[in-house]
Amino acid sequence: MSFVTAVIDVRTPEEFATGHLDGAVNIDWQGATFFDEIAQFDPAGTYVIYCRSGNRAGQAIDAMTELGFMNLTNAGGVSDAAAVTGLPVVQ
């Protein structure tokens, strides 16, 4: 995979604590601060987004696209994202 600015886990903090990709940033798609937290990232960057199944990641990607982000990959669930990125799952 080419250079990625950040890997973003959009699950809840509780889900994130059960296992996430090494180095992933947790920004809860359903949390009150999602848009404030995402605004801290460079829209020109390249991001891999994942959740439990890919559904919330898709919703987050749609919202991020509206904010001007262009290089976004929905990596699906945790195990799929690990396969796509080559990153290990850690707790």
Beta carbons within 8 Å of 60's beta carbon, 6+ residues apart: 8, 10, 27, 29, 34, 38, 49, 51
**Each residue's pLDDT tens digit, 22-79:** 999 999 999 999 999 999 999 999 999 999 999 999 999 999 999 999 999 999 999 9
- The average confidence (pLDDT) of the chain is 95
Of the pLDDT bands very low, low, confident and very high (cuts 50, 70, 90), residue 4 is confident
Task: For residue 10, give the CATH number of its domain.
Answer: 3.40.250.10
Residue 1 within any structural domain of the chain: no
**Is 51 a known active-site residue?**
yes
List 49, 51, 72, 82, catalytic entry: 51
Range of the domain at 32: 6-90
**Each residue's pLDDT tens digit, 78-90:** 999 999 999 999 9
Task: Report if pTM > 0.85.
Answer: yes
Residue 78 within any structural domain of the chain: yes
How much of the chain exceeds pLDDT 90, in percent?
95
What spatial distance separates the first Cα and last Cα of the chain, rounded to whole Å? 23
